[in-house]
Amino acid sequence: IEEKFDAIVVGAGPSGNAAAYTMAREGLNVLQIERGEYSGSKNVQGAILYADALEKIIPDFREDAPLERHVIEQRMWMMDDKSHTGAHYRSEDFNEEKPNRYTILRAQFDKWFSSKVREAGALVLFETTVTELVKDLSGQVIGVRTDRQGSPIMANVVILAEGVNGLVGQRSGLRDEVSPDSVALAVKEMHFLPRETIEARFNLTGNEGVVIEAMGTITRGMTGTGFLYTNEESISVGIGCIVSDFAESDVTPNELLEAFKNHPSIKPLLAGSECKEYAAHLIPEGGYRAIPRLTGPGWIVVGDAGQFVNAVHREGSNLAMTTGRVAAETVVALTRKREPMTAAALKDYEKRLEQTFVMKDLKKYQGIPALLHARKGAFFGAYPRLVSQAMQTWFRVDGTDKKSKEQAIYRNFRETRTLWGMLGDAFNLVRAWR
Ligand code: FAD
């Protein structure tokens, strides 16, 4: 490829597609490079799609995007080995004309998004891996080298939407390796069932959907969570924990998933299903404090490559799309003004991001990942067990008077954690949450 592009986007996940689409639609000459056979072939997600982020890019996406079910019920479960204590929220309001959250299958969804990128006018190369960035003598990034082209492909700016590992950034000296305590390794299976079975099992009508987010002893004391999402004719079930916790433990991700699927609260939901897909992927969960350098001369980082995941709320793809869009808007504005893509000019991306929910949320929760990790034995072991035992004591009617039950619950908590220990955990959690 001889021509020089206004922008090159590395990667065709949600962040890369959002960036490439936004720039191409505004008339920029965009090249997108994806190592997979097609957009979505390398990608893994639960997956919940948050409509708002996509609506800001393609307002009428509901007309033809491959959506599975719109979520009308959220279940939050705290689990021990035999039980779960749940908070469920279900509302008819979520059966709105333009639903707020959908389950999706990433392979289909990414393919659809990629078709929009091409319709908008971007050139997309598949089965091509960017190996490194090309810089001029001043350090300005001026293009990329790939595993296919002999000579580099030139552009005014490169948007790195390459996902969690950030290997191109690393190889080009822009960032460090991702730390094992800032990423979770998640494994996921797709279980197929007739749609009527799913609807009967989860009390659903038509395309309504339910999602379950779970934490507790299911991660064997490691920092992590499990999930179960209903699709049209399948159920996605998965679990993930911080990589450094796996390294210290002798439990494998696959063993965790098997145990989760066989938990008495999960097993009946999957009964009779056929598992047709298995996937594993990293999730950046280090939060605000793990964000690498985001801009420099001729380059911008978006999506998972920038650690843009809100692990507390299980949001990632919406942060990816939003950072992709905002990066693209920055590049469009600079291109229109014919300004060079210097480090100082591209800082505008970071300024714009500060105004969005992405940075506001990540800043708000900046203390949470470290706290949960430091106190993982309590938050992913002791407390779920204590809550479950308290529920059992409370609900079992066995001739014991209620005052004695209350005292037994209190004693159980005190024997496991000191009063100061519990107050300290509560104080630290509230402080990190604010
Ligand atoms: P990716 O989707 O990882 O895309 C990066 C792309 O870059 C890939 O296609 C890859 O092939 C390509 N690439 C990488 N290197 C190169 C290279 N050198 N050259 C060319 N191409 C390259 N988020 C949610 O919002 N909701 C959920 O329910 C949810 N559940 C999740 C469940 C699991 C198990 C996992 C793993 C993640 C989940 N996430 C969820 C997070 C979400 O998937 C990510 O935040 C999102 O995919 C990030 O998008 P991205 O475009 O930045 O990166």
In the chain, what are the domains?
Answer: 5-67+104-178+287-364 (3.50.50.60), 183-284 (3.30.9.90), 369-433 (no CATH)
Of 11, 298, 309, nearest in space to 168 by CA: 11
Among 9, 33, 42, name the best residue to mutate to test ligand 1's pocket (greatest count of ligand atoms within 8 A of Cβ).
42
Of 372, 354, 364, 357, nearest in space to 425 by CA: 372
Alpha-carbon dihedral sign for residues 48, 51, 56, 61 = positive
Find all residues with CB under 8 Å of 284, minimum gap 6, and list them.
164, 178, 182, 183, 290, 304, 307, 308, 309, 316
* Pocket of ligand 1, beta carbon within 6 A: 10-16, 33-36, 42-48, 129-130, 161-163, 168, 186, 188, 238, 240, 281, 283, 303-305, 309, 314-318, 320
Instruction: Note whether 85 and 387 are within 8 A (CB).
Output: yes
Read off the tokens for 54.
């996509």
pTM of the predicted model, to two decimals? 0.96
Q: Whose CA is nearest to atom 33 of ligand 1?
A: 45
Per-residue pLDDT, 432: 85
Per-residue pLDDT, 42: 73
Per-residue pLDDT, 149: 67
Q: Whose CA is nearest to atom 26 of ligand 1?
A: 48
Query: What is the rounded CA–CA span in Å between residue 431 and residue 262?
Result: 36
Among 10, 35, 45, name the best residue to mutate to test ligand 1's pocket (greatest count of ligand atoms within 8 A of Cβ).
45
Find all residues with CB under 8 Å of 224, minimum gap 6, and list them.
184, 215, 239, 240, 241, 242, 245, 256, 380
DSSP, residue by residue, 113-167: HHHHHHHTT-EEE-S--EEEEEE-TTS-EEEEEESS-SSPEEEEEEEE---TT-H
Residue range 193-204: mean pLDDT, rounded: 97
| Ligand 1 centroid, distance to 42 Cα (angstroms) | 8
Read off the amino acid at residue 417: R
Find all residues with CB under 8 Å of 104, minimum gap 6, and list them.
45, 47, 48, 49, 65, 66, 67, 68
Confidence of residue 32 (pLDDT cuts 50, 70, 90): very high
Tens digit of each residue's pLDDT (9 = 90 or more) over 331-371: 999 999 999 999 999 999 999 999 999 999 999 999 988 89
Read off the tokens for 201.
């099992």
Which phi-psi region, left, alpha or beta, contains residue 294 (left: φ > 0; alpha: ψ -120 to 50)? Answer: alpha
- Rounded percentage of the chain residues whose pLDDT exceeds 90: 88
How many C-beta neighbours within 10 Å does residue 248 have?
8
With a threshold of 0.90, tell me whether the complex ipTM lies above it: yes
**Dihedral, CA of residue 357, residue 339, residue 34 and residue 167, to nearest 10:** -70
Tens digit of each residue's pLDDT (9 = 90 or more) over 115-166: 999 999 999 999 999 999 999 999 999 999 999 867 899 999 999 999 999 9
Tens digit of each residue's pLDDT (9 = 90 or more) over 218-228: 999 999 999 99
| Ligand 1 centroid, distance to 394 Cα (angstroms) | 43
| Ligand 1 centroid, distance to 37 Cα (angstroms) | 15
Q: Is 215 helix (H, G, I), strand (E, B) or coil?
A: strand
> 50-59, 315-324, 372-381 — which is least confidently predicted?
372-381
List beta partners, residue 33: 10, 125
